[in-house]
Amino acid sequence: MSQADRERWNGRYREQAGASEPSRFLQSLADRLPSGGRALDVAGGPGHDSLWLARRGLEVTLVDVSDVALERAAAVAREAGLPLRCERVDLETEPLPSGPHALVLCLNFLWRPLFAAFPRVLAPGGLLVFAQPTRSNLQRNPHPSARFLLEDGELPGLLRGLEVVSYTEGWTEEGRHEARLVATLRP
Ligand SMILES: C[S@@+](CC[C@H](N)C(=O)[O-])C[C@H]1O[C@@H](n2cnc3c(N)ncnc32)[C@H](O)[C@@H]1O
């Protein structure tokens, strides 16, 4: 990723005031998520999902390329007395933090080579939770643009070394056409 791209994300987060809600998809999985152990939030932005997981007792590492997002997440965590590890990582050129993680979360970020890396950072029995809009999303939403979208039906074919627990693709209650996957590393 170029410095210009990093600055674009930083600028976007500087303009966005206030905290975002944790993902409804993630919250819908509450009963299936581990209640302890390590979790990795991949490209987790300002940490709304990381902080929700930390409140549930997970030891979360948040990685993102935006310093502004990471600083914001770290400040909220400090204020709330929550442990949160924040690491600036360019996921296009640098490796994921090593595991093992009981949970790896990757929402609204698509870098296809990561699918080969997910099994290496998951603990046996650990979960990958992934969601990303697909090309059909453009029928109702101009963003994200096509280069950030999955093809319809593409997601299961990207998975490497993991077993699908659940997979859906369609219009969400938030009005996005999204592919959603939960997968596990067989013990
Ligand atoms: C659409 S946001 C998603 C944030 C969060 N996961 C969510 O669902 O709200 C995409 C995130 O990816 C981060 N990002 C973009 N390119 C990246 C890269 N090469 N390495 C790490 N993070 C990156 C951005 O800074 C941004 O926080």
Helix (H, G, I), strand (E, B) or coil at 186: coil
Span 48-74, mean pLDDT? Answer: 97
Given a cut of 90, is residue 18 above it in pLDDT? Answer: no
Which pLDDT score, from 0 to 100, does residue 4 have? 84
Q: Which of 105, 109, 111 to mutate to test the pocket of ligand 1 (most atoms within 8 A of CB)?
A: 109
Phi-psi region of 153 (alpha: psi -120 to 50; beta: other; left: phi over 0): left
| C-alpha torsion 151→153→157→161, nearest 10 | 110
pLDDT in tens, 92-134: 999 999 999 999 999 999 999 999 999 999 999 999 999 999 9
Structure tokens at 172: 């969400």
CB of 40 closer than 8 Å to CB of 122? no
- Please give the number of the atom of ligand 1 that sits closest to the Cα of 42: 6
Is 51 touching ligand 1 by the criterion CB < 6 Å? no
pLDDT band at 6 (very low <50, low <70, confident <90, very high): confident
State how far the Cα of 143 lies from the Cα of 137, in Å rounded to an integer.
Answer: 8
C-alpha 165 to ligand 1 mean position (Å): 25
- pTM value > 0.85: yes
Span 21-28, mean pLDDT? Answer: 97
Which pLDDT score, from 0 to 100, does residue 2 have? 76
What is the phi/psi pair of residue 60, to 5°?
-100, 135
Is 13 touching ligand 1 by the criterion CB < 6 Å? no
Helix (H, G, I), strand (E, B) or coil at 185: coil
Highest CATH level, class, for 3-184? alpha beta
C-alpha 163 to ligand 1 mean position (Å): 25
Which pLDDT score, from 0 to 100, does residue 30 have? 98
C-alpha 127 to ligand 1 mean position (Å): 20
| Boundaries of every domain in the chain | 3-184
C-alpha 172 to ligand 1 mean position (Å): 20
Which pLDDT score, from 0 to 100, does residue 27 have? 98
